[in-house]
Chain A
Amino acid sequence: MTAEQVTQGLRERIGDALLESEPRGDRRVYMTIDPAEVVAAADELFNKMGGRYVITAATDRREKHGSFLVTHFFSFDDDDLYVILHANVPEDDPRIASITPTIPGAGWAEREMQDLLGVEAVGHPDPRRLVLPDDWPTGVFPLRTDFSSQDKPEASMEGAPQMTAIPEGAVVVPIGPYFPTQHEPESFAVFVDGEVVVGSDYRGFYNHRGIEKLGSSDLTYNQIPFIAERICGICGFVHSCAYCMAVEEAAGIEVPRRADYIRTIFLELERLHSHMLWTGVAGHIIGYDTLFMQTWRMREPLMWLAEQLSGNRKTYGMNIVGGVRRDVDKKDFPKIEKVLADIEREWTALQEAVPGDRTLTARLGNVGVITPEEVRELCSLGPVARGSGDTVDIRVDHPYAAYDELEVSKCVEDGCDTLARTFVRLRETPVAISIIRQCLEQMPEGEIRAEITEEIPPGLQGIAAVEAPRGESFHWVLTGEENRPERWRVRAPTYSNLQAVSTMINGDVLADVPIDIGSLDPCYSCTDRMTVIDRRSGQMRVMTREEMRNSRNR
């Protein structure tokens, strides 16, 4: 699919409702459509043309344009093309047809749009509250421009979400309600019949911190990379990098090649530490603490290396719009080589041991199955998708930073289960090592950041996608006035992957649920959290629906 073909196809399907289509280079096409035809357009892009749904963003533009801007993003991975579908929804009737019945993976994004901007997705199959806390009053929308980031509205339990209907004969095992969680904290209610999971409900977004609001109301372009890095403590560099690339694309800033290489080195260092961390945590979840201790021991020199190169063990603080803040010196290369060689040696041994390890194959094989069709429908990403035969890997499909000059091999497995996802991560580790080595060899001399002398004009758009350890991290920036974005939308890969949990755990036994959830690498790494699941599910504490609701609402 090229930009022209997409435009042509959409014009045939929705005719004059395609108000505007503007390709930017070969890799992006920005379209504006009539909101009445949004479902048809989404259906055409997703079902007919075979695009991948990325995310939905809504923007409050009432002040200047008298409307809300609702934007759906699609990607054509084989052709390195992103399609941006804008629709202007009038401010006096903020409603737009829901695309979730067509694209199940859009469910959360549309609920978030309802929560944060008050743009209703008409016909959404599950329009309950998703992001805002239970005691948030209805009718207060924090991402609207008339809401200040410091406002703290009075508590009210009116809009608190209720649990979905429990299947007949099933009992509820709460995993949560409070759950000390990390990147996407979660409270699962798992419905079981005997030992078998027959359904589940989810309440997450416990650590919604209002980062997007801060980015569009309080901070400046060059402050945001640091807050973006703290979206996630494991793969934060991915977020600051994606944000900077989105602004650079919007403003047309040319980044020096050396900065691209330095970014690539850190992205891969982060992937290494993240995959090693995950392998350890996965081992811990299934009670295999030897694996946990071993992989974390292997990982520690990597943290020291990151500290030597950047000044911090993580949250490196390297990125800034236009380049990076610190050079990687030639005299550090031998140190990097040494750490990589040590890790490679030990990792190869581990990688060879896993397929023959009966504990791992018995616990991980054939659990948490997600078929290629479900991957596509739910728009799963990263190792989850690649474990089910999907070949999406942003480093190859939509090259960014220095990846267009590097050799990256995709690691795809077709087992569709937790074991396959484990293999993907195990195999990606040596690939990351080889990428860092290529970077050290090929890195050109020169500047590390571009001089930016002019102010970035408002109304420009840029998108950036980065292959995080967990999948595609997607950022969209719409530039605004006062030296800050008008809207900055972040979609972390776990946002897509977590929506697949209920599909994955259905039909598994309760004891496998923790590793099923863990196999997404849902940006959590906390041991004690896993222990809680084990104990609670072990004790099978059953609550009635009423109790559950009370404990949630208390």
Chain B
Amino acid sequence: MIRDWLIKKILPRALWIYHVNCGACNGCDIEVLDTLTPYYDAERFGIRLVGSPRHADALVLCGPMTRQTAPAVRRAYEAVPDPKVVFAIGSCATGGGMWHDTYNVLGGADQVLPVDFYVPGCPPRPEAILHGVATALGLTTKEVKAMRAIQEGSDVEIEDLPEEQWLVQEQD
């Protein structure tokens, strides 16, 4: 896809992101911030937060899309020059979270904008956010190990599935 080509050819060395809170509780936002601090240091991948959507290559959305923020988020999205990518960070931005159907919430970020990548979690750990962004940029590969968990009463039985059932996304 042209978008994948753009992402992997143009953006990997210096991805500038603009962080937008669509109505989040702060949890994801401070984890996004945490990725910039010394233990995680996103800048070593050329990733930095910028102060205006017009300077950005990517939008990082946190939180459920509320009725009041939706038009403003859309404007921020339009202000990002093409080619652009959109990350939805956290369970709320991914699917609306625990308030997905309340009167003031429209749902996840993809109800308003085209979202390219999702990093779920409540909140996702800084490592997860970095890994999600790095995977999108092709800096690392996505590996998914499949397992089946069955809960009966209070005991959870976890069973690893054979390797041929693992879902591994091909990187190019």
Contacts and interface: CB of A to CB of B under 8 A. Distances in A.
B50 to A, nearest CB: 7
Interface stretch (A201-209, A393-401, A421-429): A201-209
A208 B104 contact: yes
Contacts of A72: none
Interface residues of B, number: 47
Interface in A339-387: none
A134 B26 contact: no
Contact of A206 (B29, B31, B66, B97): B66
Contact of A554 (B33, B36, B71, B123): B71
A528 B23 contact: no
Interface in A145-191: 147, 149-153, 177-183, 185
Contacts of B105: 209-210
B49 interface: yes
A230 B102 CA distance: 15
Given A233-B123, A277-B30, A183 B103 contact: no
A241 to B, nearest CB: 16
A161 to B, nearest CB: 11
A232 interface: yes
A235 to B, nearest CB: 9
A214 B99 contact: yes
A300 interface: yes
Contact of A296 (B38, B71, B73): B38
B64 A209 contact: yes
Contact of A227 (B26, B75, B98): B98
A297 B26 contact: no
B27 A209 contact: no
Nearest to B125: A313
B72 interface: yes
B68 A133 contact: yes
Contacts of B63: 207
Interface string B68-102: 11011101100000000000000000000111011
Contacts of B51: 528, 531-532, 534-535
A185 B21 contact: yes
Interface stretch (A12-20, A261-269, A323-331, A518-526): A518-526
B98 A180 contact: no
A349 B105 CA distance: 45
A314 interface: yes
A448 to B, nearest CB: 16
Nearest to B40: A300
A107 to B, nearest CB: 20
B52 interface: yes
A231 interface: yes
B130 to A, nearest CB: 14
Most buried by A among B20, B34, B102, B125: B102
A531 B49 contact: yes
B29 A210 contact: no
Interface in B18-49: 18-34, 36-39, 49
Contacts of A527: 19, 33, 36, 49
A205 B29 CA distance: 17
Given A178-B72, A528-B19, A149 B25 contact: no
B102 A182 contact: no
Given A207-B64, A207-B68, 8 more contacts: A150-B103, A230-B98, A232-B25, A293-B37, A293-B38, A300-B37, A526-B19, A528-B50
The 8 residue pairs across chains A and B that have the minimum distance between CB atoms: A233-B27, A178-B72, A531-B51, A207-B23, A233-B26, A210-B102, A133-B68, A296-B37
